[in-house]
Amino acid sequence: MSSGLSLDTSFAALADPTRRAILARLALGEATVTELAAPFEMTQPAISQHLKVLEEAGLIIRRVEGTKRPRRLAKAGIEAMELWLAMLRKALEKNYDRLDQVLATMESNHEMNPNTKKRKKQ
């Protein structure tokens, strides 16, 4: 899941609150379609459609256990999103660090300038 298209598919899948809730449930452990459908007021085929979207996005995988098809989180899909978000987090931290430096410089220049007058409280 290294291409931008895969990330697009993953984030598009997360746009739906039901699918986010399903992922949150799967974060607790593997579950069957019946178990995943239980908290929702929708049909089992509707839940299966949500699961199909999550599988196609690479966010969950299923295994065969007799007649059951339990799902679980797909490590690779989740890690790909995490790497992308980590890159954004790092860029954001750099921006805040630069802002801190600018503000510190402004404050230092303000304190050193003898022509700076403090405002009177009204």
121, part of any domain:
no
Which residue from 13, 56, 21, 59 is spatially nearest to 41, judged by alpha carbons?
Answer: 21
88, part of any domain:
yes
Taking the alpha carbons at both ends of the chain, their separation in whole angstroms is 61
Evaluated on CA atoms 100, 101, 104, 106, the torsion sign reads negative
Residue 2's pLDDT band, with cuts at 50, 70 and 90, is very low
Count of domains for the chain: 1
Residue 111's pLDDT band, with cuts at 50, 70 and 90, is confident
Q: pTM for this one?
A: 0.72
- Range of 10's domain? 1-111
SS3 of 73, please?
A: strand
| Burial of 37 per CB tally in 10 Å (0-12, 13-18, 19+) | buried
44, part of any domain:
yes
CATH of the domain at 22: 1.10.10.10
C-beta atoms surrounding 107 within 10 Å:
10
7, part of any domain:
yes
- Residues 54-96 have pLDDT tens digits of 999 999 999 998 888 999 999 999 999 999 999 999 999 888 8
Poorest-confidence range of 3-12, 78-87, 94-103? 3-12
Helices (H), the chain: 4-13, 17-26, 33-37, 44-56, 75-112
